[in-house]
Amino acid sequence: MTRPFIMWSLLLLFATPLLAEDYLIQAGDQITVFLPGEASLTDPITVDRQGRLLLPEAGPIPVAGLSEAQLKQEVVDQLGQMFRDLDNLRVYLFKKQMLIRVQGYVQNPGEFTLPADATVQMALHAAGGIRNGAQLNQLSRVRDQVSLLFDYKKYLDSGDLNHLPALQSLDRLFVPASPMTGNVEIEFDPATIADSGDAAANRLAIKVFGEVNSPGSFSFRTSMSLVDLLMRAGGVTRYASVEQIRVISAGKPTLFNLTHYLDSGDEKLLPPILAGATVFVPQQEEQIKSGANTVYVMGEVAHPGAFEGQGNATFMDILANAGGPTRYAESRQIRLIKANGEVVKFDLAAYTEGTLESQPPTISPGDAIFVPEKSDMNEKSWLMVAPDRAVRVIGEVVRPGRIEWSNEMSLLDLLAHVGGPTSRADTSSIEVVTPITENRSKTTLFDLDAFIKSGASDLQLPEIRAGSTVRIHDLPRDPANNKSQWVRQASEKSIYVFGQVGAPGRYMFTNAMHFLDILAAADGPTGSADIHNIRVTHRDGDQAQVSKLNLALYFETGDEQLLPNVRTGDTVYVPEKNRIWLDQPKEKMVRVLGAINRPGRYRFDDSMTLLDLLAEAGGPTTNAYAQKITVINLSCCRDQARSFDLLSFSRNADFTALPVLRAGDTVYVPDRRESNIAKIRVGLRDVFELFSLATMMGQL
């Protein structure tokens, strides 16, 4: 039982080469020629490239293309010439091998002896493997000067040996370098090359370039999306403008917003990718973040920059994300620059104080928040405050200049901020020029003195907004010398004093002052002033109006009601006491005529009597006919004349006998010759003289 098993085993062992009967010896095979007792024929002999078997004694025997049996026969034929006993000669194929040359872009190109069933992969392995940068799909096998291209990549993709050509000895494998490696031999690094990809066919390949990690041409597959492509290209770089990816597919350019797609997940946003499409991911200039959802925060915040915001992010959210305003920030003047160029101002300080009624502006993507730097008072950088943010204060204030304005402030705040008016400031007429439109301004004259005195509310302050100008005039330097600066003193701030005062002229005046102020300022009436008839011309009304003032009555009674209300622009005239008689109307005067010591026109009022007038006029002369002092009354309706007997009055003190006398009347003191007695006496004398004359004529 054991013997037949061994026999079968041996039979099988030797039958294996016999089964491959059609195997032909080729170069590289190892042949064992064994002849007992012959030491030189112990090692296997390799068939050389020429297909020859080099036997030590017999020389080269061409064996390529022979079968194993033919090989044995050939060997026997050759050795039989030298050896007699060849019974024990055994010739067999020791190892089926082939010689393959591997050339091109491999680690160790050269000729390698490989097992007869070796594949292309083994050949490449023997050559140390393919170098980086080899073109895997363009390998070629050269046999008998005939080149056969094959796609090694396909084999690697699939593992299908059918993609590899069969090898036989003396074949040559050529591994080309990829054209992408360039003409200068460098260490190939796929991450560094600008152009890569896996595209086998350039025409159909999809080109992905720009700000992707691995730009290149990628082989087209149906149902591939743009996101797949970007992933294959290693994803976008951090500089990529993912909102503006350009895709040219089927000759039509489209713009793809990756962020929008990722936010929405809407598949319809993905552009169709056809064979031969081109995808370009542009770079954001200078690493500037921009995009549909970006909000920019600039200026004096802790972390200025571009912020990706959701649509519902508020102004406060964004400002807080930027770290908030710094301590140098002018939080009153925050500007929101809308994407369309509109500028919205926002006063954060006022908002936090609760004085601002409006809410923070709404932020939409693309807006920019600018927090300007606080302008430093010490620095005096006047350029920091834009003209539409500043008010100008000029004139007599402690620190005139340009002040940054906020609408919650008032004129009083502004005046306080600039240190207040100086001691020489004319606070009664502060000029405020406020722009209404671009080309028009409104000028307001503000009387601070009256405002404070009356305790008016702030609503009555003139409106000031950014761009306004406030001017505060100065008072005349020397009141006594105000004529030298009369041009600087406006007419509407002056009052005019003429006539019999110590210093007539033009005086600075405010409506808060009254008549005695200006009279005292003009050094008061002089000795020759007629203080009973002071005239004040009021020039502020539409009609001419003159007030008459009896200052003597004022001094007598102290009645303030008598003093006229003088305003700027009015005129005060203090007439002379001894003025020319034309200036004194007849209705105001009493005329005293006749036998009186000082006849003339006298002023008279109803507190006086005829006796006062006669005394004032020096009394009747010695020739006066005091019994018939005549008073002619000027009446509205019926004039009359009355007489007065001064002598009789002096005797009986009958005051009722005094005739009524008023201003406008006339007093006549007749001469003694005009009395009836005197007239009769004269008449009798004339008669007697006539009689005497007649008597004398009769006697003749």
Partner 1 sequence: MFFKRINTAHRLWLCAAMGLLLSGCVQWPLAGRGGMAEHRLEQTGPTLPSQPLGPEHGQFFELELARRHLDILILEGAELYFPATVVQATLLQTRIARQMAGGLHEDAGLDLQIQRRLLNALERQIDAINRSSQQPLQELPS
Q: Which is nearer to partner 1, 152 or 554 (CB)?
A: 554
Number of residues lying near partner 1 (CB under 8 A) = 51
Instruction: From 76, 74, 77, 79, select the one nearest 63 (Cα to Cα).
Output: 74
Compute CA distances 666 → 203, 295, 586, 657, whole Å.
136, 101, 10, 17
Q: Residue 275, interface with partner 1 (CB under 8 A)? A: no
Least CB distance to partner 1 at residue 682 (A) = 7
Q: Which is nearer to partner 1, 381 or 648 (CB)?
A: 648
Question: Which residues make Cβ contacts (< 8 Å) with residue 227, sequence separation at least 6?
Answer: 258, 261, 270
**Alpha helices in 190-331, H assignment, sequence order:** 226-232, 258-264, 315-321
Q: Residue 422, interface with partner 1 (CB under 8 A)? A: no
Among 538, 577, 642, 672, which residue interacts with partner 1 (rule: CB under 8 A)? 642
Among 12, 436, 615, 680, which residue interacts with partner 1 (rule: CB under 8 A)? 680
How many other C-beta atoms can be found within 10 angstroms of the C-beta atom of residue 700?
A: 5
Among 463, 633, 671, 672, which residue interacts with partner 1 (rule: CB under 8 A)? 633
Phi-psi region of 575 (alpha: psi -120 to 50; beta: other; left: phi over 0): beta
Q: Which stretch binds partner 1 (CB under 8 A): 171-179, 188-196, 242-250, 639-647?
A: 639-647
Q: Residue 616, interface with partner 1 (CB under 8 A)? A: no
Question: Which residues make Cβ contacts (< 8 Å) with residue 357, sequence separation at least 6?
Answer: none
Residue 275 φ then ψ, to 5°: -60, 140
Q: Residue 388, interface with partner 1 (CB under 8 A)? A: no
Least CB distance to partner 1 at residue 600 (A) = 20
Phi-psi region of 363 (alpha: psi -120 to 50; beta: other; left: phi over 0): beta
Q: Using CB under 8 A as the criterion, what x/- string covers residues 649-668 for binding partner 1? A: ------xxxxxxxx------
Q: Using CB under 8 A as the criterion, what x/- string covers residues 529-568 for binding partner 1? A: ---------------------x--xx-xxxx-xx------
Among 605, 647, 652, 693, which residue interacts with partner 1 (rule: CB under 8 A)? 605
Q: Which stretch binds partner 1 (CB under 8 A): 216-224, 228-236, 475-483, 627-635?
A: 627-635
Q: What is the largest CA-CA distance in the chain?
A: 253
Least CB distance to partner 1 at residue 592 (A) = 15
Q: Which is nearer to partner 1, 47 or 614 (CB)?
A: 614
**Alpha helices in 407-490, H assignment, sequence order:** 411-417, 448-454
Q: Which is nearer to partner 1, 213 or 635 (CB)?
A: 635
Instruction: From 398, 437, 438, 434, select the one nearest 446 (Cα to Cα).
Output: 434
Instruction: From 471, 495, 472, select the one nearest 482 (Cα to Cα).
Output: 495
Q: Which is nearer to partner 1, 283 or 635 (CB)?
A: 635
In whole angstroms, what is the distance from residue 353 CA to residue 341 CA? 29
Least CB distance to partner 1 at residue 644 (A) = 5
Contact 30, 44 (CB under 8 A): yes
Among 358, 607, 622, 699, which residue interacts with partner 1 (rule: CB under 8 A)? 607
How many other C-beta atoms can be found within 10 angstroms of the C-beta atom of residue 313?
A: 18
Q: Which stretch binds partner 1 (CB under 8 A): 155-163, 318-326, 365-373, 604-612?
A: 604-612
How many other C-beta atoms can be found within 10 angstroms of the C-beta atom of residue 476?
A: 21
Q: Which long-range contacts (CB under 8 A, 24 or more apart) does 557-565 make?
A: 563/514, 563/515, 563/516, 564/515, 564/536, 564/538, 565/514, 565/515
Q: Which is nearer to partner 1, 523 or 686 (CB)?
A: 686
In whole angstroms, what is the distance from residue 351 CA to residue 667 CA? 87
Among 281, 631, 646, 669, which residue interacts with partner 1 (rule: CB under 8 A)? 631
Among 610, 617, 626, 646, which residue interacts with partner 1 (rule: CB under 8 A)? 610
Instruction: State the residues that interact with partner 1 by CB under 8 A.
Output: 550, 553-554, 556-559, 561-562, 605-607, 609-610, 628, 630-631, 633, 635-638, 640-645, 655-662, 674-676, 679-680, 682-688, 691, 694, 698
